[in-house]
Amino acid sequence: MRKQAEIRDDNRITIIPEYGRQRLLNYAESFRDLADLFEEEEENDKAADGGQAEDRRDYLWQRKLQENQGLLAEHLKEMAHIMAEVAKETCLYHPMSERKYRQMAKLLRESGIQLKNFFELEHEDGHSELSLTMKTASEKYIRMGEKEHISVEDVADFISVAMNTRLRTAKNAPLYLTPEWSTYYFLEEPAYHLLTGVAKAVKETEHISGDNYSFYEAEDGRMVTILSDGMGSGEKACSGSERVIELMERLLEAGFRKEAAIQMINGALAAAGQEENMSTLDLCDMNLYTGECEFIKVGAACTYIKRGRLVDRLSTQNFPLGVFGQLEPEILYRTLQNGDYVIMLSDGVMDALSQGIGEEVLPEVIGKMEFSNPNEIANQILTYCLKQSKGRIRDDITVLVVGIWDQTDDCNS
């Protein structure tokens, strides 16, 4: 259900009414206080034993308890941060002029839609969102005793023409208009759109791959590509990497910052203390409005960015998830352009190349590829790897390719 907004005098509105805002801020403060208590307890425990417990088993247990207290404190802080950010979220409210309102009402009325309210919201990140309160006209909605449905996507096309701006429906929006008054939200279409390609090969002694991946579309115009390589192979490795992907998606959807989400997943895997719980994490977070891209790698193989014949190799040196209670994920930043390709690989690619002429030549091979379809690029890389390993697949191989295109160029061409 869409959050109701409360309008202030300065045309800035809060997404949540005042009473709800205060409750969220109070909850956030309580979580911060709990985090402080756990941190104080952790410091007291460290000071009490001085790092010199008489029994090694007791010492290791004490260290594990302290780590868990620290992790719990960080998780509570992140919850407090999310609540405070939601409570403080605001946007600018721009009522439409009478002339623009009449134009829009006339356009929609011709399509069997009645318009009640129409205004624009400008979010803090600069992106616009249109809010229209509408319903289907009864004579249009019922024709010859049957219902004629009007899709919200069709409405997005109508108002895109009227506003001279490419618009799309908000995520999780209803599919159709109803005969009752309801408010519908439409977002500014991002400048870029993506095409994706995948190529996979399963380890020759297994029936299921230990690699898993996901393309997650966030509501604020971001596409997050996630690749995880589970430790080992087969069902256990698949289960481990699948759990990492699922947890990452859920935490991001809940509003957690990426670094905090990674720490939470790592803490959960490390607390289990089993080797098969270790998995790599390779994450590409792309802003489809600006082309800015954030890469976070935790024990993952290299990522390549192809721009024509030029290839940028992104690599980091750190351990997989679940090895230590605390980790420092390495973050790399790039700005992508029209026609660029992001190529993400699992460790099996490196293993296959090591049986041939090595990984060092891969950038040159990628740069010479003339394909434009991401699926073709992914399959060509997989084929090259299998040739290098003479058809032997000693580890699961996954190749993800994401191509980025400027939609304004498509419109002008």
User: CA dist 298 to 214, 225, 250, 283, 328, Å?
Assistant: 16, 14, 18, 9, 8
Report the candidate in 206, 211, 209, 214 with the shortest Cα–Cα distance to residue 228.
Answer: 211
Q: Rounded distance, CA 167 to CA 211, Å?
A: 36
Share of the chain above pLDDT 70, in %: 76
Tokens of 336: 């992508």
SS3 string, 126-192, reads: CCEEEEEEEEECHHHHEECCEECCCEHHHHHHHHHHHHCCCEEECCCCCCECCCCCEEEEEEECCCE
CA dihedral in degrees (315, 318, 322, 324; nearest 10)? -160
Lowest mean pLDDT among 130-144, 194-208, 380-394: 130-144
Q: Average pLDDT in the 256-264 region? A: 85
Report the candidate in 399, 405, 325, 393 with the shortest Cα–Cα distance to residue 355.
Answer: 393
Q: Rounded distance, CA 179 to CA 135, Å?
A: 5
User: CA dist 360 to 302, 351, 353, Å?
Assistant: 11, 13, 9
Amino acid at 298: V
Report the candidate in 33, 104, 151, 72 with the shortest Cα–Cα distance to residue 326.
Answer: 72
pLDDT level of residue 256 (50, 70, 90 thresholds)? confident
Q: 8-12, 35-39, 211-215, 404-408: which has the highest mean pLDDT?
A: 211-215
Per-residue pLDDT tens digits for 104-151: 898 888 888 999 988 887 766 667 788 899 998 765 544 444 456 889
Question: Is the confidence at residue 199, as pLDDT, over 90?
Answer: yes
Exposed / middle / buried, residue 324 (Cβ in 10 Å: 0-12, 13-18, 19+): middle
Q: What is the pLDDT of residue 139?
A: 55
Exposed / middle / buried, residue 310 (Cβ in 10 Å: 0-12, 13-18, 19+): exposed
Share of the chain above pLDDT 90, in %: 39
Q: Rounded distance, CA 329 to CA 65, Å?
A: 23
Per-residue pLDDT tens digits for 204-213: 999 999 999 9
The DSSP code for 339 is T
Kindly give, in sequence order, each residue whose CB lies less than 8 Å from that of residue 354, ignoring residues fewer than 6 positions away: none
Q: Average pLDDT in the 284-311 region? A: 95
Class of 192-412 in CATH: alpha beta
pLDDT level of residue 4 (50, 70, 90 thresholds)? very low
Q: What is the pLDDT of residue 6?
A: 46
Report the candidate in 256, 298, 250 with the shortest Cα–Cα distance to residue 86.
Answer: 256
Q: What is the pLDDT of residue 46?
A: 61
Q: What is the mean pLDDT of the chain?
A: 82
Contact 325, 270 (CB under 8 A): yes
Contact 204, 394 (CB under 8 A): yes
Per-residue pLDDT tens digits for 31-90: 677 667 666 766 666 666 555 555 666 665 566 666 666 666 777 777 777 777 766 666
Angle between helices 374-388 and 347-354 (to 10 degrees): 40
Q: What is the pLDDT of residue 395?
A: 93
Give backbone dihedrals phi and psi of 278, rounded to 5 degrees, phi first.
-80, 135
The DSSP code for 359 is G
Q: Rounded distance, CA 60 to CA 28, Å?
A: 33
Report the candidate in 181, 188, 179, 184 with the shortest Cα–Cα distance to residue 155.
Answer: 184
Q: How many CB atoms lie within 10 A of CB 396?
A: 28
Per-residue pLDDT tens digits for 75-90: 777 777 777 776 666 6
Q: Average pLDDT in the 145-162 region? A: 80
pLDDT level of residue 291 (50, 70, 90 thresholds)? very high
Question: Is the confidence at residue 92, as pLDDT, over 70?
Answer: yes
Q: What is the pLDDT of residue 18?
A: 63
